[in-house]
Amino acid sequence: MAHKQIASPFPSVRRLRLPASVTAPRAPTTPVRSLCASRIGAQIKALRIASGVSGGQLAQHTGLSASMLSRVERGLVSPSVETLERIAGGLGVAVSRFFSEGSGRADFSHVPAGKGLRVDCAGAMEGCDYELLGRLQSRELAIEPCLMHLAQGARSDTASQHPGLKFLYVLSGRLSYRYGTKVVGVEPGDSLLFEAGAPHGVDVIAEGPVVCLCAVFSLRD
């Protein structure tokens, strides 16, 4: 006698397949740089280095985290107006300095006499200001020249430290310059070239005012 097959009252189990967009491995994403944010970040970094202020010092002075400041300088985030105001205050410049345009070329820079960006270094050194003379990048190398103006009695209680090589040529005045534990006296015509990762800075102004041509050579981010 044949047995009649009775249908199960329970639904059959089917394997659930996720969409390919969910299961397919995704390639690692890289941060997208905004052109405007990159330009602002490069300007902030140039002003900071010319001022002789480390990233950690500026972050502490502005209340920003060191990682956030680094992301701003690399153009990985678009900083808010409040953030720009805090950074500008820490560097002693107007926010408008971050939006200054160059000559429009990446391989050539012309700064007329007296037209460089002026940076007040009161946050790092009293009686000191810098005149930025442009910034150029070639492959992995970046150069940032500036004129350093020091008044009689200018002195910093904090040494500078930053990546790259630094060149200094004395145009007028006399001063003592400290590099690590070494102090050397320099006068017009003298020059210094050193690894900027070691603590360095002005020790004593012997005869002011002092004007020096400085240039920082560093690897591009």
Give the model confidence (pLDDT) of 61-94 as tens digits: 888 999 999 999 988 887 877 788 788 888 877 6
φ, ψ of residue 98 to 5 degrees: the values are -75, -15
Domain ranges across the chain:
35-219
Convert the pLDDT of each residue in 175-214 to its tens digit. 999 999 999 999 999 999 999 889 998 999 999 899 999 9
- Structure confidence at residue 89 (pLDDT): 80
| SS3 at position 95 | helix
- Cβ 206 vs Cβ 185: under 8 Å: yes
Torsion of CA 150, 199, 140, 134, to 10 degrees: -10
Give the span between the Cα atoms of 55 and 76, in whole angstroms. Answer: 16
What residues contact residue 101 under an 8 Å CB cut-off, 6+ apart?
A: none
Q: Which of 172, 69, 48, 168 is nearest to 119 (CA)?
A: 48
Name the CATH topology of 35-219. Jelly Rolls (2.60.120)
